[in-house]
Amino acid sequence: MALGLSLLQRLVGFAIVFFGVTFIIYFTVFSMPGDPIRALAGDRQLSQSVVDALNSRYLLDQPLWVQYTNYIGNLLTGDLGVDLRGRPVAGQLAARWPITIILALTAWTIQIILGLAVGIVSALKRGTVIDRGLLVISIGLSCIPVFVLGITAQIVFGVRLDWLPVAGIREGWPLAYLLPSLVIAMFGLASVSRLVRGSMIENLDADYVRTARAKGLGESRVIGLHVMRNSLIPTATFLATDLGFLLGGAVVIEGIFNLPGVGNLLFLAIRDHEATLVVGISTALIIIFLLTSLIVDALHALLDPRIRRG
Amino acid sequence: MADPQNQTPRTAKITVPKTMAIPTAARREGSWRRLVRRPLLWMGAVVLLVMGAFAVAPGPFAALFGNGDPRACDLADSAKRASAGHPFGFDVQGCDIWANAVYGAQSSLAVGFLATAIALLIALLLGTLAGMGGRAADWVVSRVTEVFLGFPFLLAAIVVLNMLGARNVLTVGVVLGVFGWPMMARLMRGSVRSVAKADHVLAARTMGLGTGRIMSRYVLPNAVQPVLLLATLTIGAVIVAESTLTYLGVGLSSPAISWGLQIAAGSRVFQSAPHVLVLPSVLLAMTVLAIVTIGEELRSVFDPRERS
């Protein structure tokens, strides 16, 4: 009963967030300055009848809420509409999202490996020079604007050392994705390693760890089996949220490394006032965001029996 | 990850101290002595002080090498390397890089502090409302927070900055602040809720004190600390976010002078003239590093679990 109620509450919350965000996006995109029809025409002069026909074709002569209702109605049947050049939005998303997904998963994996390593070492060596040094390095990396990090990596590893391709996806996975993924991972390294370090330190002092030591377990078993398992709960939920963000596309990195992903597409769409495209991408982003938060909650309950029992 | 909003360091491990012991003189002295033994903290403070001095009075610092006017530019000097009186060389427009970098501190720091102040204010209000205001208020605030978290930040920044018409320190700061509060609000909510359950709050209720008094005297002072620490990290994140927005062409625009503008301009000629990019990037990274280090060190000083 209580479970059903909270599930219902969640679903209603999801619906409100979904419709709220999509409506605000719809409203803001269509209130951007500039006339999309004129932008489409460029230098050509359009006769009034053509403008009227285009306006009514894209429902631009209708009030905003009619356009929005129409859009949501089409969305429910899987139709994301067409952009101003007549290309279907769904097709563009399908072409570009795989690249973003590959980039996100590669960066995410690197981030997990490095974050765990740095976090565990800092926790076990807490307060020492090693701990301080790792703190400064990891935070220092996250303080450099990501585009500076990206260009520097391109020059050093792509041009000077010629280890990895500078830009583009011609070399395919993993070569083409390694450099941008590393830059993204470096940027997120501090968050993950700080989190791992914090929760490990919290658990290292816990009573159950003292018990494990007292009963004569070896240090590797104490750390590996007892401390790690409990420390990974907050890290796991953070990593799930992080993957959600990464799947949304990295505008700057995709731009610098010339990866035709969805972040790049969103940026171009905003710049060119491609309203349906912006709304389509944003809608997909919201769905990813909502699914991620659902997965995070489920993960939390799954990993931590205290939460499951409520 | 390049979404500027996402650059808020999500240090989720700032928890409310469970001990609510009265801070006695001995405890205070203990904290102070732990602060003194933190060289990183003092290094951060020194860097921040220098940048603060750049921001408040750029003139004398810019003139340190004899050419202090950031707008005295000669296109003939475009992207020239270091020479006498110009230890860091010239940028693409032929302006002295050192003078520009010194003057750039002001915009970057102003955006950082303004946006964080706005975000902190919203977060404290909404977080307290969600934490203390009952189930309905909590539900509504949580949904609003999710709407702001789910909204693509880049789109928001571009649209709002376009609507405001001007892209200066004030508008960029306001936009970054208005979209930068959700993480802090969530932290505040959790913090308020956990403090509200503490024994001393129950005692205050039992004594029949009003809600306003309980909030202002017993809950908020104890709940606000982790949020303030996250706010210090947010200042750094906002400074980075400003430069990223500027790089994308939607942040500050000239004739403003900021590190973001200089780095963005330098990044376009990085192949042929890498020296243009170096100084503003280093100053920006040092400033952010100083702020974040101060926040981290304060957190670990006040965190009882860190004492080994």
Q: What is the pLDDT of residue B11?
A: 43
- Say yes or no for a CB contact (<8 Å) between A155 and B271: yes
The answer to whether residue A106 neighbours chain B at the CB level (below 8 Å) is no
Closest-CA distance of chain B to residue A17, Å: 5
- Say yes or no for a CB contact (<8 Å) between B2 and A263: yes
Averaged pLDDT, B198-220? 84
Beta bridge partners of B96: B90
pLDDT tens column, B6-18: 444 444 444 445 4
For chain B, the residue count is 308
pLDDT tens column, A265-286: 888 887 777 778 888 888 888 8
- Say yes or no for a CB contact (<8 Å) between B292 and A195: no
Instruction: Write the DSSP symbol of residue A116.
Output: H
Residue that the structure tokens 């303030």 belong to: B228
Q: Residue A191 and residue A103: Cα distance in Å, rounded? A: 19
Averaged pLDDT, A45-63? 77
Residue A109 has pLDDT above 90, yes or no: yes
Residue B99 has pLDDT above 90, yes or no: no
Q: What is the mean pLDDT of chain A?
A: 82
Q: Give percent of chain A with pLDDT exceeding 90.
A: 9
Tokens of B174: 């306001």
Q: Give percent of chain A with pLDDT exceeding 70.
A: 92
Averaged pLDDT, B118-144? 88
List the single residue in A with minimal CA-CA distance to B241: A145
Closest-CA distance of chain A to residue B209, Å: 31
- Residue among A24, A194, A245 whose CB faces B3 most closely: A245
The answer to whether residue B173 neighbours chain A at the CB level (below 8 Å) is no
Q: What is the pLDDT of residue B29?
A: 55
- Say yes or no for a CB contact (<8 Å) between B139 and A9: yes
Q: Residue B102 and residue B49: Cα distance in Å, rounded? A: 13
Query: Are A126 and B308 in contact, with CB atoms under 8 Å apart?
Result: yes
- What is the count of residue pairs from A and B with beta carbons less than 8 Å apart? 166
Residue A117 CB partners (closer than 8 Å, separation 6+):
none
Q: Is A190 exposed, middle or buried (0-12, 13-18, 19+ CB in 10 A)?
A: buried
Residue B81 has pLDDT above 80, yes or no: no
One DSSP character per residue, A207-241 reads HHHHHHHHTT--HHHIIIIIIHHHHHHHHHHHHHH
pLDDT tens column, A146-175: 888 888 888 888 878 888 887 777 777 788
Query: Are A36 and B166 in contact, with CB atoms under 8 Å apart?
Result: no
Q: What is the pLDDT of residue A308?
A: 57
Q: What is the mean pLDDT of chain B?
A: 79
User: Of the segments A18-32, A195-209, B22-36, which one has the largest average pLDDT value?
Assistant: A195-209
Residue B296 has pLDDT above 90, yes or no: no
The answer to whether residue A188 neighbours chain B at the CB level (below 8 Å) is yes
Residue A239 has pLDDT above 80, yes or no: yes
One DSSP character per residue, A244-276 reads HHHHT--HHHHHHTT---HHHHHHHHHHTT-HH
Closest-CA distance of chain A to residue B207, Å: 31
Q: Residue A63 and residue A118: Cα distance in Å, rounded? A: 55
pLDDT tens column, A283-307: 888 888 888 888 887 777 777 666 6
The answer to whether residue B178 neighbours chain A at the CB level (below 8 Å) is no
- Say yes or no for a CB contact (<8 Å) between A17 and B143: yes
Query: Are B149 and B182 in contact, with CB atoms under 8 Å apart?
Result: yes
List the single residue in A with minimal CA-CA distance to B245: A252
Closest-CA distance of chain B to residue A49, Å: 30
The answer to whether residue B43 neighbours chain A at the CB level (below 8 Å) is no
Q: Looking at the predicted complex, does its ipTM rise above 0.90? A: no
SS3 labels along B125-184: HHHHHHHHCHHHHHHHHHHHHHHHHHCCHHHHHHHHHHHHCCCCHHHHHHHHHHCCCHHH
- Residue among A21, A33, A266 whose CB faces B147 most closely: A21
Among positive and negative, which fits the CA dihedral B127, B132, B138, B144? negative
Q: What is the pLDDT of residue A112?
A: 93
What separation in angstroms does the CA of A38 have from each of A34, A85, A271, A273, B199?
8, 13, 15, 11, 66
The answer to whether residue B37 neighbours chain A at the CB level (below 8 Å) is no
Question: Which residue out of A151, A152, A277 would a mutagenesis test of the B interface target, given it has the greatest number of B Cβ atoms within 10 Å?
Answer: A151
- Say yes or no for a CB contact (<8 Å) between A248 and B3: yes
The answer to whether residue A25 neighbours chain B at the CB level (below 8 Å) is yes
- Say yes or no for a CB contact (<8 Å) between B155 and A28: yes
More confident residue, B283 or A236: B283
Helix extents (H) in B179-251: 182-196, 199-206, 211-213, 220-247
Residue A170 CB partners (closer than 8 Å, separation 6+):
A176
Residue A18 has pLDDT above 60, yes or no: yes
Q: What are phi and psi of B249, to 5 degrees?
A: 85, 15
CB atoms within 10 A of CB B76: 8
- Say yes or no for a CB contact (<8 Å) between A24 and B243: no
Q: Give percent of chain B with pLDDT exceeding 70.
A: 85
Q: Which of B179, B214, B216, B234 is nearest to B14 (CA)?
A: B234
- Residue among B143, B240, B271 whose CB faces A13 most closely: B143
Closest-CA distance of chain A to residue B7, Å: 8
The answer to whether residue B35 neighbours chain A at the CB level (below 8 Å) is no
- Say yes or no for a CB contact (<8 Å) between A146 and B147: no
Question: Which residue out of A126, A129, A148 would a mutagenesis test of the B interface target, given it has the greatest number of B Cβ atoms within 10 Å?
Answer: A148
- Residue among B2, B9, B244 whose CB faces A191 most closely: B9
Which of the four pLDDT bands, split at 50, 70 and 90, describes residue B27? low
pLDDT tens column, B152-190: 777 777 777 777 777 888 888 998 998 888 888 988 888
Tokens of B259: 């590190």
**In Å, how far from its chain's centre is CA B81?**
33
CB atoms within 10 A of CB B170: 13
- Residue among B1, B236, B277 whose CB faces A184 most closely: B1
Among positive and negative, which fits the CA dihedral B126, B131, B133, B139? positive
Side chain identity, residue A80: L
- Residue among B11, B149, B152 whose CB faces A282 most closely: B152
Residue A132 has pLDDT above 90, yes or no: no
Beta bridge partners of B67: none
Per CB-CB distance under 8 Å, the chain B contacts of A253 are 2
- Say yes or no for a CB contact (<8 Å) between B162 and A32: yes
- Say yes or no for a CB contact (<8 Å) between A139 and B156: no
List the single residue in A with minimal CA-CA distance to B260: A145
Q: Residue B278 and residue B9: Cα distance in Å, rounded? A: 24
What separation in angstroms does the CA of A100 have from each of A267, B14, B30?
14, 32, 50
For chain A, the residue count is 310
A 159-178 residues with CB below 8 A of B?
Answer: 159
